[in-house]
Structure 1
Amino acid sequence: MIKAIADLLKRNLADYKLRLKRRWLLFRAIRKSGELSTVVNRTATIQKNDILCFATVRNERVRLPYFLKHHRALGVSQFLIVDNASDDGTRAYLEDQPDVSVWSTSTSYRSARFGMDWITWLQMRYGRGHWCLTLDADEAMVIPHHDARDLKDLTAFLDRKRAEVFPALMLDLYPKTRLDEAKYTTGAPFTDALGFYDAYGYDWEQQPKYRNISIRGGVRKRVFFSKKPDLAPHMHKTPLIKWRWRYAYVSSTHIALPARLNRGFDARHRLPTGVLLHAKFLDEALRQSVSEPIRKEHFTHPEFYNEYYDAVRSNPILWDSTSHSYQGWARLEQEGLMTRGDWD
């Protein structure tokens, strides 16, 4: 009896701490909203059932045409994008897109929780009651039945099931060649230049604090972090959520609050899951491996990743005999990288 009471008190204390953390994140977002300047705001055209996509970008002019095209076809109605001091024409390109609203800032990406403070503010302001997709510009969402259904079909199913989330595994893509030979044509599918991925070798771990399942694996763990697996990137994300103004992401889209939003990978709920095709290793990865260690904007402890950037600068071949070629969502489901759950 005493143990049961102690366990209940412990759970209540943990829940209280998470509520306080969520309130702090919302306060941060409100405070950081002052760093954003409106470039073009088309949110007045948002309709009640529109699916919205949020992103923070910097120098993504090469990837953005396909990013927008892919997610428009998938069912996104409007994009709300923060441009973080791009100097490659990204901002001008976005301004010309009729379904894109743009905010700009030159302040630190890292000090804004890697852009999540800015995104949280926009979600508080515009995302309430909408299914909100939060992505990076180098990600392309793949859902079950991708060749025949879209996000409107998926979210209608989730609404019927009274589910608020759709999780996705981030799947690193890479070429068969050296990285500098992965030439990409702007507007083409990411898989044209990066046609391979690691299908196996993913570790799943239940984490009690946020009640999520952590997933690590893929080519970055295999090649760059095999000796330091605890530094390998997390591959679990919950990029699609039916938003309420009190929700917040904790760490990119890996973790969200309230904690029930992290249940998507728990197979007991039989929810569908997807894949985020991650176009990190285009030929420009070599250029970023030079600039990012200088800027130190992408990791909480950037000094831990100097060896990683050195390895990318060496222009490696990531492909090996275990690599799989991309052949669509059904193959990904066969490999256990995504599931349709109860969505037949």
Structure 2
Amino acid sequence: MLDVSIKDAGRLARVVSGQVDPARLTLFSTMKNEMGFLPAFLAHYRSIGFEQFLIWDDASTDGTFEHLSAQSDCIVMRSDLGFGQELRFTDPEGRTRVERAGTYFKIALPHLFFDNAFVAYVDADEFLILPPGVTSVAQVVDRLRDDGAFAAVASVVEFFPRGVQGLKGELPDSFQGLIAAYPHFQAEALVDLTPGALRPRLMGQSKTAHLYAQYNVTPPLIRRGWHKIWMPARVRRDQQSQTSPRHKTPLILRSADCHQVGSHNASKPPSSTVLLTLAHFVFTAQFADKITRAITQGAHAHGARKYHGYAQLLKAMEGRDDGFLDAQSVRYQGPQQLIDLGLMRW
């Protein structure tokens, strides 16, 4: 297993298209075969003020790489490592743990180019919603700096249609189109922020967890290699504790003293007065295809156990016109609604 630190990112990944401008407000993402979301993704984040996109492309074959390379505000990086390859990572505090290469690059690559700068990190199916009256993410960054905060947490809110029939057709090519096609979410607060706390307190449940309970679905344990013979209790617990994320830290001050931890946290306390919202479009026209790809590739956490659960869920929901809805499902109306429900704070 390869031993790495943040400083090794520059020899493990390389810029293959574009040139980074450290002065630009930048969004970083890792992508593999995300052409379906790219038009909406780029248009949305440009519209809320991002000036530059730094993308690590994991050997895409669907046109993602070519599309990104043709954009004047996109810088594309690649590596000989695949997302799921395990590395032994020693973080700046000297703690060593095993990370997948994709997670390692989320942590390390922005530090190659940015020092004392806020850099965003989101996935291709996650769309940041700004608070009422805020028109640019630069306003959020300014507030974080004024407050001396190192990061901003976001509630990860899964959006969905009425039923599985809403998963058919073409994937919309704009944020507004995505909201129109998949307009529902759960009216349930997911995180609480405490001044000085390193992590938010998790509350409620994700829509995925609600659906698993509603349809009595339990994702199977994934046994690979010698785990087919014997699976240690620790590994079993890790798989069983895996849940769909309820929070993420999409804005982090990247510096010698502050870095990303895993896929969802920062090494320093986030703001306790700013809570953003990430609209997570899991249940879309790409849902069935994404399940197949995730299971085939096996690069996601625990051998894509969550996606094996999604496959069971999709089968259980067949034929139900309103199968996604329950008593807490509401239609999206705007960011003030998110504040009223405790999913956003400003």
Pairwise TM-score range, normalised by the shorter structure: 0.7 to 0.9
Which residues of 2 match residues 48-197 of structure 1 at below 5 A? 50-105=24-79, 107-111=81-85, 113=100, 115-145=102-132, 147-178=133-164, 179-181=166-168, 183-189=170-176, 190-197=178-185
Q: Is the CA contact 1:80–1:100 (under 8 Å) kept in the aligned structure 2?
A: yes
Tell me which moved more, 277-286 or 30-39: 30-39
Which range moves more in the overlay, 326-335 or 155-164? Answer: 155-164
SS for the counterpart of 1:70 is: helix
For 1:297, give the aligned amino acid.
A
Which residue of 2 is the match for residue 234 of structure 1? 245
3-state SS in 1 of match to 2:279: strand
How many angstroms apart in 2 are the aligned matches of 1:149 and 1:303? 38
Structure 1 residues 203 and 81: alpha-carbon distance in aligned structure 2, compared to 1, 3 A threshold: closer
**CA shift for structure 1 position 126:** 1.2
Counterpart of 1:13 in structure 2 is none
How far residue 32 of structure 1 moved from its aligned partner, in angstroms, is 4.8
Q: Distance in 1 between matches of 2:80 and 2:182?
A: 31
Query: Is the 1:52–1:127 contact (alpha carbons within 8 Å) kept by the matching residues of 2?
Result: no
CA deviations on 1:233-286 (whole Å, 9 max, x unpaired) are 23111110122134332221x2222xx33x44xxxx4x1111000011111110
Aligned-partner Cα distance in 2 for 1:94–1:58: 12
Contact 1:213–1:236, Cα closer than 8 Å, also in 2 = no
The one-letter code matched in structure 2 to 1:292 is A
Q: Which residue of 2 aligns with 1:331?
A: 337
Q: Could you tell me how far 1:38 is from its partner in structure 2?
A: 2.1
8 Å CA contact 1:237, 1:255 repeated in 2: yes
Given residue 141 of structure 2, which amino acid in structure 1 is its aligned partner?
Answer: T
Identity of aligned residues (%): 22
What residue is the counterpart of 1:7 in the other structure?
none
Q: Deviations over 1:106-141 (max 9, x none)?
A: 532122626122233321111212111001011111
Kindly provide the amino acid, as one letter, of the partner of residue 13 in structure 2: L
Count of residues in Structure 1 that have an aligned counterpart in Structure 2: 302
**More displaced stretch, 182-191 vs 125-134:** 182-191
CA distance in 1, matches of 2:180, 2:186: 17
TM-score, length of structure 2 as denominator length: 0.78
> Alignment RMSD, CA only?
2.9
Code of the aligned partner of 1:138: D
Secondary structure (helix, strand or coil) at the match of 1:220 reads helix
The alignment partner of 2:301 has SS state of coil
Which structure has greater helix proportion? Answer: 1
CA distance in structure 1 between the partners assigned to 2:22 and 2:193 by the alignment: 39
C-alpha separation in 2, matches of 1:74 and 1:213 = 28
* Unaligned segments of structure 1, at least 5 residues: 1-24
Alignment of 1:250-329 (within 5 A): 250-252=261-263, 254-257=264-267, 260-261=268-269, 263-264=270-271, 269=272, 271-300=273-302, 302-303=304-305, 306-312=308-314, 316=318, 317-329=323-335
Spell out, residue by residue over 1:64-119, the C-alpha distance to the aligned partner (whole angstroms, 9 max, x if none).
11111111121111110011111110001001111110012353212262612223
Deviation at 1:326, TM superposition (A): 0.9
Separation of aligned partners in 1, 2:156 and 2:69? 28
Quick one: which amino acid aligns to residue 173 of structure 2?
A: T
Deviates more, 1:218-227 or 1:280-289: 218-227
Alpha-carbon distance change, 92 to 314 in structure 1, aligned in 2, over 3 angstroms: farther
Structure 2 Cα separation of the partners of residues 28 and 202 of structure 1: 32
Distance (whole Å) between structure 1 residues aligned to residue 334 and residue 79 of structure 2: 37
Question: Displacement, 1:42?
Answer: 1.9
Counterpart code for 2:339: E
Work out the CA distance in 1 between the residues paired with 2:169 and 2:281. 11
Rate the CA distance shift 1:322–1:214 in 2: closer, same or farther, 3 A.
Answer: closer
SS of structure 2 residue aligned to 1:300: helix
Unaligned ranges ≥5, structure 2 = 87-99, 219-239
Distance change >3 Å, CA 334–CA 225, structure 1 → 2: same
What is the CA distance between 1:199 and its match in structure 2? Answer: 1.1
Describe the superposition over 1:274-322 as per-residue Cα deviations: whole angstroms up to 9, x where unpaired. Answer: 1000011111110111221221111135447633332235555312343
